[in-house]
Amino acid sequence: MTLEMWYALAILTAAIILFITEWLRVDVVAIGVVVALMLTGLLSASEALSGFSNSAVLTIAALFVVGGAVLNTGLAGLIGRRILAIAGTSEVRLTVVIMLAVALLSGFMSDTGTVAVLLPAIISLAKSAKVSPSKLLIPLAFGSLLGGAMTLIGTPPNIIVSDLLREEGLRPFAFFDYTPIGVLLLTAGVVFMVFVGRKLLPDNKPKQDLQRVETPDELMDIYRLPESLFRLRVRRGSELVGQTVAASRLGQNFGMSILEILRPAEPRPVVKVGRQQLVLQSRTLESIQPTADTVFGLDDILLVQGDGNDAAHAAARWNLGVQPSGGNDKPILNTEEAGLAEILLPPRSSLLGKTVVETRFGSTYHLTVLGINRPGADEKLGLKDTTLEFGDTLLVQGPWKNILGLRKRRRDFVVMGQPETMLGAPARNKAPIALLILLGMLAIMVTNILPVVTASMLAALAVILTGCLSMDDAYEAVNWKSIVLIAGMLPMAIALEKVGLVNLAAEGLTNSVGSFGPLVVLAGLFILTSLFTQVLSNTATTVLVAPIALATAQQLGVQPYAFMMAVAIAASMAFASPVASPVNTLVMGAGNYRFSDYIKAGAPMMLIMLIVTALAVPLLWPF
């Protein structure tokens, strides 16, 4: 082992530890890897930064934009609901249709976005069929992971593996090269889940539908918002006049959340005679989304949420008129600009162990927490003193763009439902255009008229120019954490190869199991990748293992395609842990699952996928 090897190994080990523990964000770790590679002299600056211009990175970024347009226009939800309409009420039929439907959509767009779109419909189907959601939601998550393995653009590992082949001067995988083995894996997965897997799943029937994904109007009733909404009018002589929201400390001192400020419109002069003018006094009210710097004015009507006693104390302290909303303020809480949504706290959320007040939720995320629901808890949880736990759902209110912004913080939040569909009718009217662009992109990729990166960037530009997605929304649609992660870890793979660690690992794998034949090596690569992907992201796992698979094939003197395909497939087999994939986390709260539920159903599923891969891949891609 040379000194350069030890440097590279130390950087890689530190990165893996940080990925697993999540002491730092994965994108911060990736940037740290790039800096470390430059500081140690393992790579030049141009080599260390080459990941940011890599075609795979640009392709994935463009596909995020296209997928954002499919979600933003409501196209994904429309297709999904049409498919689910044939599901019926049989648990077996529901399982089959759900897995096939989510796999079909996940083959062409983000699996996380697909599950988020279909989750409300699945829960509704379960209720109408009198089937526990816990019997259907793990199949939903597993189906999305299997669907991502069916096409080139279904998941980032497929693109990374194909791009690595191209860089080595080999023929890259084409769009539907993944489909034959993907269909076999999906078929095996559905059969397993129908005959064995669903019997391993819990039959959780909670006392109340705490985790249901409802429409904003239904959420208001579930959380009994009409009972806790009040209107406070700023009277003449109130000390609130001229004060800012932050200075009033209505939230800290009285537990009141200001959701909306209704302000009388400014009077307008209509006739002027000399120095006199006739003023038209308007009765209309202007709606203002409050911020910490918003200044209260005379006759402002504050729509607040909180306890009735707290509202009375606040009114007495500040000389405010108080009256219950009587449910008349529902339309104000849910508009095309702002509304309500539920967010789930995943296992490694930084909010766990803190109260809502301690998280400074309002000032940090510019949203208001209106309620907390906890699986199995019958009593109403207080916003001031409840310590947040894994599985809690928070009802938040505020601008839709801020709610959608929480999707970027996947470690901290899982946004339930499909809030992007509330952003306005113009985007939803663009669904046919988004469909045509998506089909056009797929046609170009399948026929190889243009390179994959060109086709994806062309489609991303088209959805922006046609108004399916604004430029600001396009930036929002890209998961920049994933982009930085890929761009930062690709140079790590270059460094490992440059110092000889890739060849060393390949020699170790060849010497240990190579004598048993390439089929055993393929199985070993599958097991290694699938284990890594339970604790690392599938992207980071693929970046690290794919070069080893390629070097191993070269040392054995066999074609690399079977090994590379096995790595790509195994990277999607994140079945055995709720934190192995965002889709697993997304359904955990709604299904009231435990960690062990994923192991019971996921471990056998991974074994079956290994057997199918080992039997089928060498036939499709001979050694």
The CATH number of whichever domain residue 260 belongs to comes to 3.30.70.1450
Q: Determine the pLDDT at residue 425.
A: 46
Same domain, 309 and 230: yes
Q: What is the pLDDT of residue 391?
A: 74
Chain segment 329-339, per-residue pLDDT in tens: 555 566 656 77
- The reported pLDDT for the residue numbered 277 is 58
Task: Say if residue 39 is exposed, middle or buried (CB neighbours under 10 Å; 0-12, 13-18, 19+).
Answer: exposed
- The pLDDT value recorded for residue 422 is 53
pLDDT at residue 208, as a whole number: 42
The phi and psi torsions of 582 (rounded to 5 degrees) equal: -60, -30
Instruction: Answer yes or no: are the C-beta atoms of 516 and 557 closer than 8 Å.
Output: no
C-beta separation of 160 from 545 below 8 A:
no
Is 344 found in the same domain as 286? no
Instruction: Give 430's DSSP letter.
Output: T
Residues 303 and 350 placed together within one structural domain of the fold: no
**pLDDT band with cut points at 50, 70 and 90 for residue 569:** very high
Where among 416, 441, 472 does a domain terminate? 416
DSSP secondary structure letter of residue 408: G
- Residue 307, pLDDT > 80, answer no
What pairs with residue 261 in β-bridges? 288, 302
Does one domain contain both 244 and 288? yes
The reply to whether 406 and 345 lie within a common domain is: yes
Query: From CA 1, how far away is CA 3, in angstroms rounded?
Result: 7
Could you report the per-residue pLDDT of 214-244, keeping only the tens digit for each?
Answer: 555 556 655 656 566 788 888 888 888 888 8
| Residues 381/372, Cβ–Cβ less than 8 Å | yes
Domain co-membership, 301 together with 351: no
Residue 558 has pLDDT above 80, yes or no: yes
How is residue 419 written in tokens?
């809030």
3-state helix, strand, coil in the chain (%, to 5): 60, 10, 30
Shared domain for 267 and 322, answered yes or no, is: yes
Note whether residue 223 is domain-resident: yes
Question: What average pLDDT does range 249-270 have in this prediction?
Answer: 73
**What is the predicted pLDDT for the residue at 205?**
63
Q: 89 lies in a domain?
A: no
| Residue 347 lies in domain | 340-416
Higher pLDDT, 417 or 88: 88
Residue (of 190, 189, 186) closest to 95 by Cα position: 190
Q: What is the CA radius of gyration of the chain?
A: 27
Q: Which of 101-105, 321-325, 418-422 has the highest mean pLDDT?
A: 101-105
CA proximity to 545, closest of 524, 569, 525: 525
Of 416, 450, 480, which marks where a domain is finished?
A: 416
Angle at 407 between CA 405 and CA 413, to 5 degrees: 115
Asked, for residue 357, whether it belongs to a domain, the answer is yes
Lowest-confidence pick of 92-96, 208-212, 555-559:
208-212
In Å, how far are 285, 511, 543, 567 from 516, measured between CA atoms? 79, 10, 26, 19
d(CA 540, CA 563): 17
Q: How confident is the model at residue 281 (pLDDT cuts 50, 70, 90)?
A: low
Per-residue confidence at 184, pLDDT binned at 50, 70, 90? very high
In-domain check, residue 412:
yes
User: Which of 385, 416, 447 lies at the terminal end of a domain, its last residue?
Assistant: 416
3-class DSSP assignment, residue 312: helix
With respect to residue 389, please indicate whether it lies within any of the assigned structural domains.
yes
Same-domain pairing of 227 and 284: yes
Q: Cα separation of 392 and 389, whole Å? A: 6
In a domain, 388, yes or no: yes
More confident residue, 117 or 460: 460
Work out how many domains the chain is built from and give that number: 2
- Residue in 592, 563, 574, 588 with CA at minimum distance from that of residue 206: 592
* 327 and 345 in a common domain: no
| 257 and 323 housed in the same domain | yes
